[in-house]
Structure 1
Amino acid sequence: MENEIPDNVVYSEEKGYNASFLPYATSVGAPIIKVDDVAAWKGRGVRNVNKEFENKFNELKLQYQSLMEEFEWNELVYNSKFSFEPIIGEIYHLYATGDGTYFLSLIPPHEWNKKHIGTFQLNSDKKWVKQH
């Protein structure tokens, strides 16, 4: 009789007894080896993270737009004509002239018939804050 190995033993000439390395059960009494579906978990994780990045990006985009608007207003006011030193905390009004230049004044728009551009307050950082 030949030296045969029974069917229920996992053995090969090249690898020997390798049942513990196989990705499937090798006997009737072995536990079921179930591979988890990590693709679904990864997909949910990617969607959640992408949504978080998208929200953060939109938030930063809004902050950037707000910052650029502040910058443009400050540039406009600082480049306008005024012959006084503005006081921190005071309210000033920006007007446009007919020739396309701007000037800053203490006179409110309801007391003067000029084209009113905006109302601003100078804060302690020397930044012009547009009043609504």
Structure 2
Amino acid sequence: MKKNIPDNIVYSENEGYNASFLPYSTSVGAPIIKVDDVAAWKGRGVRNVNKEFENKFQELKLEYDKLMEEFQWNEIIYNAKFSFEPVIGEIYHLYSHEKGHNFLSLIPPHEWNKEHLGTFHLNSDKKWVKID
């Protein structure tokens, strides 16, 4: 099949001369079609997303550590000896006994010469919250 039209002319058997309808340039003097370099954009995006994930992971890790500390204090207090029913909202003090067990008391540390482990109050969920 012989081509009668020069290469720099846009012609199609079906469409005819359709250069003005094409979404790209067709003449030799037109600006070049340049593909954007998206590798740099992707690299910045990956770094930003990874940083966001790392920050979120650190937040979750801190929250987990705090939760585990609360769990451990609650376990210690619920395993401690006390001979009264704690009242919600009251302040209690946890002490260590010479015999190796812990006990809960209403007596503050400045009024007693015992090894003070912490001051707590009981919230409405029956969870012990460390005050100091």
TM-score (norm 2): 0.81
Matches within 5 A, 1:89-100: 89-100=89-100
Q: Which residue of 2 aligns with 1:83?
A: 83
Displacement, 1:80?
Answer: 0.2
The size of the alignment, in residue pairs, is: 120
Deviation string 1:49-79 (CA, Å, 9 cap, x unpaired) is 0110011000000000000000000000000
Give unpaired runs (5+ residues) of structure 1: 11-23
2:62 maps to which residue? 62
Gaps of 5+ in 2: 11-23
Q: Which residue of 1 aligns with 2:14?
A: none
Quote the residue 1:34 is aligned against: 34
Query: Which runs of structure 1 show a deviation greater than 4 angstroms over 4 or more consecutive aligned residues?
Result: 2-5, 24-27
Structure 2 residue 114 is matched with structure 1 residue 114: yes
Q: Identity, % of aligned pairs?
A: 79
Q: In structure 2, what is the Cα distance between the partners aligned to 1:64 and 1:93?
A: 25
Q: Which amino acid is the alignment partner of residue 87 of structure 1?
A: V
SS state of the match for residue 95, structure 1? strand
- Secondary structure, aligned partner of 1:100: coil
TM-score, structure 1 as length reference: 0.81
2:72 is aligned with what amino acid?
A: E
Q: Quote how far apart the aligned CAs of 1:104 are.
A: 0.3
Distance in 2 between the 1:120 and 1:3 partners?
93
Structure 1 residues 3 and 52: alpha-carbon distance in aligned structure 2, compared to 1, 3 A threshold:
closer
Q: 1:111 to 1:43 in 2, by over 3 A?
A: same
- The CA RMSD over aligned residues, in Å, is 2.2
2:64 maps to a residue whose letter is Y
User: Within 1, Cα distance between the matches of 2:41 and 2:3?
Assistant: 48
